[in-house]
Amino acid sequence: MESALGQPNFISVAFFFLFVVLTLGITYWAAKKTKSSSEFYAAGRSITGFQNGLALSGDFMSAASFLGISGMVALKGYDGIIYAVGWLVGWPALMFLLAEPLRNLGKYTFADVLAFRLKQKPIRIVASIGGILVTITYSIAQIVGSGKLINLMFGLSYEVAVVIVGGVMLLYVLFGGMIATTWVQIIKACLLLFGVTLLVILSLSVFGFSLENLYGGVESKFGRAALEPGGLVANPIDAVSLGLALMFGLLGLPHILMRFYTVPDAKEARKSVAYATTFIGYFYIIIPIVGFAAAVLIGREQIAGIDKGGNMAAALLAELLGGTPFLGFIAAVAFATILAVVAGLTLAAASTISHDLYFNVFTEGKASEEKQVSVAKKATVVFSIVSILLGILFKDQNVAFMVGLAFAIAASGNFPALFLSILWRGFSTMGGVWSILVGSISATAFIILSPTVWVDVFKFKEAIFPLKNPAIVSMSLAFIVAFVFSKLFPDMNAKERYESEKVRVYLGVGAE
Amino acid sequence: MKSKAHELIESPEFKKLVRTRWIVSFLLLFLLFANYYGFILIIALKKEWVVERIGQFANFGLIAGAGVIVLSWILTFIYVIWANRVYDKEVDALKSKLEGGR
């Protein structure tokens, strides 16, 4: 099969421009509504549960899930499905543990929840460190992925692609704030769900709309092994550790958590998660079909020939089934996907810098509305430039490793402190500070000493830390440290304030 | 009768509300764990269970992958139904007792 992939084809460029023009139009409309800091960070709390559910899906379904998982299924078979399942199971946990308390306690960032009864300055400073570490590693992964993707799809150079992604994303966040970012994510989620559904229907039509025929095709071409688990979960402790990172990492991702402040109350926050789980679950159930169909109809060799990681499987399948126009559409969707996720991350980082660090720590809550929004905009510019530069610097870095790092830090650094501050009366400022620091630092250190970096990147013979994902150890450490330091350095103020926190957590009284 | 926040928290109704909320949450979380980690551990330790065929080509593993997602989704909706039918009503009842509460 001859592929138009890698050439700057007119239709994909046209689709891409259509998307950018449409979303910039929304940004222009949003810019006129975005005056106060509540509008900039939280869309004036005017988003409905359904809209927020779509936006959460848009924020979460990254190019890594769309292109990465379909490619993994195409090249490795069943193991790709195991991975896909892990990406969904955090959502119910988010619903049971955090969604409502988060909405009732916070204003703009997850640090608001921690700082509700603990000492403002120390807790906000370390929470910002944890939050920014997660957003920057996750952004770099997205940006590096986008650069390679554009390179493969349109034939543009890596650096040009990175600058385009960074530039367009900067415009959304800078002028439209949370309102524009939300709508970009909603549009992207709809396009992605539509595109993948169409791809699945077209694939199944080739197999007479029967999954049995599709599986039969896989078996006759690649043997039974393609439909059975391979080496991904050979080591059970490693598998559980990866599962913990995927599940609880979601509960510590700043750009996901801040979406809960865009809805008016806890009931809408609950609805948001229900809708998000529905859309994301649907997506992860059907995405393996794309991978299997690509393997059968195109062949593993050709998919791997274009990109070793299999990331082009979905695009090649689209071209085969729908010609260049469909390839163009899927390419534009993939690009929109990256843009939307990076915009969400940038906004989360900007809020942390301006709301937690500048407003609450530096000026001790005395800065005016205009000043806060202006600092947030400056932070957006700085964060974008830094991530573009790091994206170029980390050009050849393994993207999966960066995503793994972001999730491990989120699960170990942010989640334990957030969880304990809601549930445990005896949680103290020192406990919170050290839990975040120990969780984030140990997660990072263990990943560097793990086989993924120590052996694969640094080429040492044996890894110092045996597990590929450290969450099971670093999360436990964070909980233990939180407990020990809270007992050693109790916080009377925090205990007294726990009462008013409770009224707010459970009844929503006094929540903004 | 309107009461202050402190009295409310000490009231048996509020304590019961908090307790029920976390019992429901942790029960559902436990089922989620059993569902997902059960799936992972079966693949790691009892691979022969998932490779068994059902039908001509499909096997249990392929169904189980989708099944874990569907079950997680059902658990989420059980929580929503419980929260809408039970939790919200009790919250409203307690709020109306609170002095100056909305």
Q: What is the pLDDT of residues A55-78, one digit of tens each?
A: 999 999 987 788 889 999 999 999
Q: Is A249 on the interface with B (CB under 8 A)?
A: no
Residue B102 has pLDDT above 70, yes or no: no
A310 domain-assigned:
yes
pLDDT band for position A249 (cuts 50, 70, 90): very high
DSSP track, A423-491:
H-TT--HHHHHHHHHHHHHHHHHHHHHSIIIIITTT--SS-SS--S--HHHHHHHHHHHHHHHHHHS--
State residue B10's pLDDT score: 83
Contact A56, A272 (CB under 8 A): yes
A3 domain-assigned:
no
CB contacts of A102 in chain B (<8 Å) are none
Cα–Cα separations (whole angstroms), residue A96 to A37, A493, B96: 29, 28, 25
Residue A185 has pLDDT above 50, yes or no: yes
Q: Is A215 on the interface with B (CB under 8 A)?
A: yes
Residue A199 has pLDDT above 80, yes or no: yes
Cα A319 from Cα A309, distance rounded (Å): 19
Closest approach of chain A CAs to the CA of B76, in angstroms?
Answer: 5
Task: Provide, rounded to the nearest whole percent, the portion of chain A with pLDDT above 70.
Answer: 99
Neighbour-count burial of A173, counting CB atoms closer than 10 A to its CB (0-12 exposed, 13-18 middle, 19+ buried): buried
Residue A232 has pLDDT above 60, yes or no: yes
pLDDT band for position A45 (cuts 50, 70, 90): very high
Closest approach of chain A CAs to the CA of B1, in angstroms?
Answer: 18
Domain at A395, CATH number:
1.20.1730.10
A197 domain-assigned:
yes
Q: Is A210 on the interface with B (CB under 8 A)?
A: no
- A243–B41 C-beta distance less than 8 A: no
pLDDT band for position A508 (cuts 50, 70, 90): confident
Cα B51 from Cα A239, distance rounded (Å): 19
CB contacts of B76 in chain A (<8 Å) are 91-92, 95, 273-274, 277
Closest approach of chain A CAs to the CA of B16, in angstroms?
Answer: 11
Closest residue in A to B85 (Cα–Cα): A267
- A82–B29 C-beta distance less than 8 A: no
Residue B101 has pLDDT above 60, yes or no: no
So what's the ipTM on this one? 0.92
Contact A355, A372 (CB under 8 A): yes
Please tell me the pTM assigned to this model: 0.93
- A219–B79 C-beta distance less than 8 A: no
The amino acid occupying position A122 is: P
Q: Which residues contact A222 (CB under 8 A, 6 or more apart)?
A: A77, A295, A300
State residue B56's pLDDT score: 83
- B72–A281 C-beta distance less than 8 A: yes
Cα A261 from Cα A269, distance rounded (Å): 8
Residue A474 has pLDDT above 90, yes or no: yes
pLDDT band for position B99 (cuts 50, 70, 90): low
Closest approach of chain A CAs to the CA of B40, in angstroms?
Answer: 7
Domain residue limits at A379: 10-507
Question: Please, which residues bridge with residue B53 across strands?
Answer: B59
Contact A47, A185 (CB under 8 A): no
> What average pLDDT does range A459-470 have in this prediction?
88
- Which stretches of A298-368 are DSSP H helices? 300-306, 313-351
A1 domain-assigned:
no
The overall longest dimension of chain B from CA atoms, in Å, is 68
The structural domain count of chain A equals: 1
> What average pLDDT does range A317-343 have in this prediction?
89
CA dihedral A5, A11, A17, A23 (to 10 degrees): -90
A494 domain-assigned:
yes
Contact A189, A57 (CB under 8 A): yes
- B58–A215 C-beta distance less than 8 A: yes
> What average pLDDT does range B1-24 have in this prediction?
82
Average pLDDT of every residue of chain A: 90
